[in-house]
Amino acid sequence: MMRTLLVRGMLAGLIAGVLATLFAYFFGEPSVDTAIGLEGTAAHSHSDPGAHDPAAHDPAPAEPAAEEEELVTRGVQSTVGLLTGVGLYGVAVGGLFSLAFAFVYGRLGTLRPRVTAALLTAGAFVVVFLVPFLKYPANPPAVGQAGTIESRTSLYFGFVALSLLVGILAAAFGRKLADKLGAWRGGLIAAGGYVVLIAVAAALLPSIDEVPSSFPGSTLWEFRLASVGTQLVLWTVLGLTFGALVEKALARKEISSVA
């Protein structure tokens, strides 16, 4: 049974990754292109100090700088590279999602597989992506300092791990409370506990604000909105596709066991 869930989870993740890639290409890549253009303009102005000061020009003609050969073109990055990255991410998330489904299925009452998958998808989207994104939102090219990449990456994934851990503990605690107080009250208390603990953790963790004052706010907003939309498409398609595939598989298994 575990193999059945894993294969369907990875298949659903692949489908979700392809559709998320299409969304990212049409809605996210334009803001990325704009940010790359701004980054190139800023780099050119820094490398040419005489661009704004005529007196700084050397009267002798300068030798043309040899441009670095681009290993992967922008066109490949925005198409094949984007599909490969998001597709592999979708497959990996789908596999992990199937393992989580195998653990929670049957522990949430008599819910159908589709409903269980939908609830698990909503919870995973909030805990794994949305909450960490609110603390450490994604930034386009030209935003962020090169020397802080490692610290920013560590803070983000550390917060993802913390959010996931607190979410799992809240779900387990809420399940126990549901037996005593009912599913509605138990769920509300567990969700409230998660919000309080994560809010405290977010307040204690350092904030990162490296957006240049000259960077257009509209480009930043479009990029971040597209990032949220891409993840929303991926998780929604994953939950719906996986739920449909698993419900059919479980129905066939029940029929064969009865026969």
DSSP state of 68: P
Distances (CA, A) of 85 to 105, 123, 192, 225, 232: 30, 24, 35, 19, 16
Q: Which two tokens stand for residue 121?
A: 């998808």
Considering the entire predicted model, what is its pTM?
0.85
Which uninterrupted H or E stretch holds 184? helix 183-204
Q: Looking at this protein, which amino acid is placed at residue 190?
A: A
CB of 255 within 8 A of CB of 38? no
**What's the pLDDT score for residue 1?**
74
DSSP state of 129: I
Burial class (CB in 10 A: 0-12, 13-18, 19+), 65: exposed
Distances (CA, A) of 182 to 8, 119, 165: 33, 18, 24
pLDDT per residue as tens, the chain (259 positions): 788 899 999 999 999 999 999 999 999 999 999 988 887 676 555 555 554 454 445 555 545 444 456 677 888 888 999 999 999 999 999 999 999 999 988 877 678 899 999 999 999 999 999 999 999 999 998 787 878 889 999 999 999 999 999 999 999 998 888 888 888 888 899 999 999 999 999 999 999 988 888 899 999 999 999 999 999 999 999 999 999 999 887 777 655 555 4
Residue among 135, 136, 123 at smallest CA distance from 238: 123
**What's the pLDDT score for residue 209?**
87
**What's the pLDDT score for residue 55?**
47
Q: Give the count of beta carbons closer than 10 Å to the beta carbon of residue 6.
A: 18
Tell me phi and psi for residue 120, to 5 degrees: -65, -40
- Give CA–CA dist 206/204, Å, rounded: 6
Domain ranges of the chain: 1-34+74-143+211-259, 145-210
CB of 124 within 8 A of CB of 100? yes
List, in order, residues 6 or more apart from 194 with CB less than 8 Å away.
127, 166, 167, 170
Exposure letters 80-102 (e unless 16+ CB within 10 A, then b): eebbeebbebbbebbbbbbebbb
Residue among 258, 217, 242 at smallest CA distance from 12: 242
Start-to-end CA distance of the chain, whole Å, equals 18
List, in order, residues 6 or more apart from 29 with CB less than 8 Å away.
78, 82
**What's the pLDDT score for residue 56?**
47
**What's the pLDDT score for residue 9?**
96
